[in-house]
Amino acid sequence: MVNQQTYNEILRTYWIYFGKSNLYGIEMIFTEMRNNGFEGDLMTVNIVKQILIDYYNLKLGKNDNLHLELNSDIKVPIWTIEDDARANNLQRQIQHLASSLVREDQLDGPADNDFKRNLF
């Protein structure tokens, strides 16, 4: 049975093993999750936010701080205009999700208050 936690793990695992060549798979998983009735949760926001941070760092050639290693056969990922559009789309969707979580008051602890202040 698939639930929100399953989709969060799929997003994270896909990025670790396959995502660094493009964002197409991440966008498709996120879209499938939404189409199957799972809007996302705080963990989804954190995962996609980290994916976007990693994406922009890799695009700028800053991969020294990443906890995820590139495939040794691939020296530099190839990013396209479509990947930039996907990154922008994912960022908008995550901002919307984070805002809705704040409105629904699903964020109420001290760590969550820090999260609210640091929304993109």
Q: Residues 94, 100, 105, 106: what is their CA dihedral angle, to the nearest 10 degrees?
A: -40
Q: Which two tokens stand for residue 67?
A: 């906890």
Question: Please, which residues have CB within 8 angstroms of residue 5's CB and are 6 or more apart in sequence?
Answer: 43
Share of the chain above pLDDT 70, in %: 73
Please, what is the Cα angle at 62 between 93 and 86, to 5 degrees? 25
Q: Is the pLDDT of residue 4 over 90?
A: yes
Instruction: Indicate if the pLDDT at residue 19 is higher than 70.
Output: yes
- pLDDT tens column, 48-62: 999 999 999 888 877
Pull the structure tokens for residue 70. 């590139």
State the chain's mean pLDDT as an integer: 82
What one-character DSSP code corresponds to residue 20?
Answer: G
Contact between residue 43 and residue 65 where contact means Cβ atoms under 8 Å apart: no
